[in-house]
């Protein structure tokens, strides 16, 4: 079985199991999908090991917790994108800066929407492209609040993209702790020279960070006062999106979620 066949059959099996909450035996799966027993058994065992599927003592397979978590996050991300568009368009008009919406997909983070401002920052970032977790404001924001992404950040390579990129584990750890405490992230020319990125979280009613607003500005035009103004505007927009998502805010404002360290 080639890698492409294996990936395709994994999704075929998942689609089949989604409709069978009571589970299915390997024989039932093979019969429905027209697959040989031996290779299907091996595939199912790999899916169980990866927590994409689970198996009971009587050898019935069901959708696993990892697949469920990923499915929830994808749906949350798509819902956020639909509900946030008018708010982000208004933020781009108000600030004049480029505004992005970022969401996590499993072990990566990507922009899923972009709204150019009146003074757009010309950066070649494609929607859906994986972002660096250690160098971008949204990458650091999600890594600070998500144990899985934090592990990936420290386990993987952290290339020095600019002279300002944080790469040493100790300095990255301090940066993530600061992000949790302040509830926003800044990439000060760490990914692209001349560009400052600001990111604030969007939370669902269970307090998890389901998306982030990214403001992209030119470093030679953003003063400390302007940075605070942009953060206030982005936070106001995030709260409006959260209300549309059904999140209830207390009179004193929201309390940042607590990150889980690696």
* Whether pLDDT at 94 is above 80: yes
pLDDT of residue 71: 72
Whole-structure pTM value: 0.67
Q: Could you give the C-alpha distances from 130 to 6, 47, 151, 185, 217, in angstroms and in order?
A: 23, 24, 16, 18, 20
CA distance 240 to 44: 43
| 127 within 8 A of 112, measured Cβ to Cβ | yes
Q: State the average pLDDT over residues 219-248.
A: 88
Q: How confident is the model at residue 257 (pLDDT cuts 50, 70, 90)?
A: very low
| Predicted pLDDT of residue 185 | 96
**pLDDT at site 144:** 94
Domains and CATH numbers, the chain: 3-63 (1.10.10.10), 69-244 (3.30.450.40)
At residue 77, the pLDDT reads 63
Per-residue pLDDT of 171-213, as tens digits, reads 999 999 999 999 999 999 999 898 899 999 998 766 788 899 9
């Amino acid at each position: 079985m080639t890698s492409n066949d294996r990936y395709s059959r994994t999704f075929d099996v998942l689609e089949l199991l989604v409709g069978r909450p009571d589970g299915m035996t390997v024989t039932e799966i093979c019969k429905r999908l027209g697959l040989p027993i031996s290779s299907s058994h091996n595939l199912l065992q790999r899916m169980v090991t990866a927590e994409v599927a689970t198996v009971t003592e009587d050898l019935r397979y069901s959708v696993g917790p990892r697949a469920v978590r990923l499915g929830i996050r994808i749906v949350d991300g798509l819902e956020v994108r639909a509900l946030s568009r008018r708010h982000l368009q208004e933020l781009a008009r108000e600030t004049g800066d480029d505004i992005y919406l970022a969401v996590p997909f499993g072990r990566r983070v990507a922009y899923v929407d972009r709204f150019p401002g009146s003074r757009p920052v010309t950066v070649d970032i494609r929607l859906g492209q994986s972002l660096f977790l250690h160098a971008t404001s949204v990458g650091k924001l999600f890594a600070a609040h998500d144990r899985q992404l934090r592990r990936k950040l420290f386990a993987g390579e952290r290339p020095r993209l600019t002279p300002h990129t944080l790469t040493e584990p100790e300095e990255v750890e301090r940066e993530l702790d600061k992000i949790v405490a302040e509830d926003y992230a800044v990439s000060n020319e760490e990914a692209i020279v001349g560009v400052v990125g600001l990111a604030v979280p969007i939370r669902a009613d269970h307090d998890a960070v389901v998306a982030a607003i990214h403001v992209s500005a030119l470093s030679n035009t953003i003063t400390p006062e302007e940075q605070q103004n942009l953060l206030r505007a982005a936070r106001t927009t995030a709260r409006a999106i959260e209300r549309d998502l059904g999140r209830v805010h207390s009179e004193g404002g929201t309390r940042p979620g607590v990150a889980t360290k690696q």
